[in-house]
Amino acid sequence: MELIDAILGRRSIRKYKEKDVEDEKIRKILEAAIWAPSSGNTQTWRFYIVRDERIKRELSASALNQRHIRESPVVIVVGYDMQEMYSAYRERGVTLYAIQDAAAATQNMLLRAYDLGLGTCWVGAFDENEVSRILDLPKYVRPVAIVTVGYP
């Protein structure tokens, strides 16, 4: 597939088949994510893979009850390490650069998933504190995106 085909063909998918996504495909999606550019090559992004039904239901509730979060086979929560970014770039790094880096990594994930025959949806409307609680994230990790993944 040509890159432009993925860019133009990718869509937000909110309905998925009841078919598990292979671990190897998730690995390839994450590999694409970590090849995204990052400020000073800091790579402060963090990825949390969720397959557990109870946790997906809780994440859905934290995100305006968006049904596709609980119904997708896999959810990837994207966050970043605020301490590492602050060490490198102080406040501007935490409030801007890390978010840009996480967004670039997320876009790479969406394009690679499409290339692998998978559908995704990038969710930004969620309660950060609630997502942090649900996943028991360290205080220094800020969740900034939820990505649903499955077969369209």
Helices assigned H by DSSP within 1-152: 3-9, 23-34, 53-62, 67-71, 82-92, 98-115, 128-135
CA distance 47 to 105: 10
Task: State residue 1's pLDDT score.
Answer: 86
Task: State residue 7's pLDDT score.
Answer: 96
Task: State residue 91's pLDDT score.
Answer: 96
80-117 pLDDT, tens digit each: 999 999 999 999 999 999 999 999 999 999 999 999 99
Instruction: Provide the residue range defining the domain that includes 105.
Output: 21-150
Whether 2 is covered by a domain: the verdict is no
C-alpha 135, offset from chain centre: 14
CA distance 32 to 42: 16
Whether 34 is covered by a domain: the verdict is yes
Element housing 78 (H / E) = strand 74-81
Which CA distances in Å does 138 have to 15, 48, 88, 111, 150? 31, 12, 19, 29, 27
Residues 53/87, Cβ–Cβ less than 8 Å: no
Q: What is the CATH number of the domain that holds 40?
A: 3.40.109.10
Whether 35 is covered by a domain: the verdict is yes
**Which regions of the chain are under pLDDT 70?**
none
Structure tokens at 64: 């305006």
Q: How many domains does the chain have?
A: 1
Does the pTM exceed 0.95? Answer: yes
Task: State residue 127's pLDDT score.
Answer: 99
Whether 14 is covered by a domain: the verdict is no
Whether 10 is covered by a domain: the verdict is no
